[in-house]
Amino acid sequence: MVSCHGADDGFNIPQNVRVGGVWGGIVKVVKSLDNLDIIPYASMRRLVRDGHSTLFWHDVWCGESRLADSFPRLFALAANQQATVADIKWRIPLRGGEEHLLLQLELALLPGGTDAWRWDLGHDGLFTVKEARVIIDLKSLLEVDVQVRWCKLLPIKVNVFLWRLVHDRLPTRWSLGIRGITLDHIMCPMCDGAPEQIHHLFCRCPVAVVLWEAMARWCQIQIPTFLVVDDIWTWVDMQNGSQIRKAVLDVLVGTLLWVIWTYRNATVFGDGSYRKDMIFDNFTLFSFNWYTFRYRNCRRNWNAWLLCPLMN
């Protein structure tokens, strides 16, 4: 254990000790978070009591930084730079600016017990994975204004697809061209009438327009002409009705967008067996299966669904 992870319980592994195993991975993560200024190393400090397991120069235990960084001259003159607090025998004369070190040492020493770790960012000085995860997320994840839409009545793959659509992360020909990927052309594979952007593919393409119109007739509702993808969600959120009706509408819209994307992929990569007249049939079948399978209190049967899915 000592040969793999070192003799102390700190994060400073000597150069002659191999960094490996679980503890080696933890040390690398700690130092990486410090370099990225996400969780500073200085936030993890030693509470020194007997001083036998705290490195005098390398652990943060006296002040806000390591003594090796605060007093580089004294560190360079130290006979044992890996000494613990208990090992220190002070014989080096102090110069200007260094005299307050002795006072800091006296204030940092606590009576009785053994040395322990304290995490300044944690509640009551205790480290928890939950609090660390929150800090990492707050400092590393991008803030977006678009609310994450997640419909529990749709499969995970469809929800992930919808998230990518909302954030314009689908590999359309337009987005691939912007990223520098060489393509024969960037035109819509379903109509060849405009560049394949998400707004064209799901809103303006003649294939998509026909499907939205067919959904409006099937559901016996008015669906406006969408110009951009955000218009779809704005319209969905403005619809009135019961919670069940809104849930069904979420399933229908998510499924329609999904079948448009799968037909697009079949057009680009398929063998031509997925015909255009099959899209709406798949839309009705998938939406019925996904809704009835995931909604426990569902009272809809197939015939009623075919008649009008929004009828109570």
150/160 Cα distance (integer angstroms):
9
What pLDDT, in 10s, does the model give residues 121-170?
A: 877 777 788 888 888 888 776 655 556 678 999 999 999 999 999 999 99
User: For the chain, what percent of residues have pLDDT higher than 90?
Assistant: 43
Q: Is the pLDDT of residue 46 over 60?
A: yes
Q: Is the pLDDT of residue 248 over 70?
A: yes
Choose one of 78, 107, 140: the last residue of a domain: 140
* 179/73 same-domain check: no
Contact call for residues 188 and 200 (beta carbons, < 8 A): yes
Per-residue pLDDT band for 291 (boundaries 50, 70, 90) equals very high
* 181/303 same-domain check: yes
* 7/43 same-domain check: yes
* 276/182 same-domain check: yes
In a domain, 149, yes or no: no
* 161/296 same-domain check: yes
* 13/48 same-domain check: yes
In a domain, 147, yes or no: no
User: For the chain, what percent of residues have pLDDT higher than 70?
Assistant: 81
* 119/161 same-domain check: no
Give the domain extent around 135: 2-140
Question: Between 132 and 91, whose confidence is greater?
Answer: 132
Instruction: State phi, psi for 109 to the nearest 5 degrees.
Output: -80, 130
* 123/218 same-domain check: no
The total of structural domains in the chain comes to 2
* 189/57 same-domain check: no
- Average pLDDT of the chain is 82
137/70 Cα distance (integer angstroms):
31
In a domain, 50, yes or no: yes
In a domain, 251, yes or no: yes
Task: Give mean pLDDT, residues 35-44.
Answer: 78
Contact call for residues 39 and 135 (beta carbons, < 8 A): yes
Per-residue pLDDT band for 77 (boundaries 50, 70, 90) equals confident
N-term to C-term CA, the chain: 67
* 179/129 same-domain check: no
Three-state secondary structure of the chain: CHHHHCCCCCCCCCCCCCCCHHHHHHHHHHHHHHHCCCCCHHHEEEEECCCCCCECCCCCCCCCCCHHHHCHHHHHHCCCCCCEHHHCCCCCCCCCCCCHHHHHHHHHECCCCCCEEEECCCHHHCCCHHHHHHHHHHHHCCCCCCCCCCCCCCCHHHHHHHHHHHCCCCCCHHHHHHCCCCCCCCECCCCCCCECCHHHHHHHCHHHHHHHHHHHHHHCCCCCCCCCHHHHHHHHHHCCCCHHHHHHHHHHHHHHHHHHHHHHHHHHHCCCCCCHHHHHHHHHHHHHHHHHHHCCCCCCCHHHHHHCCCCC
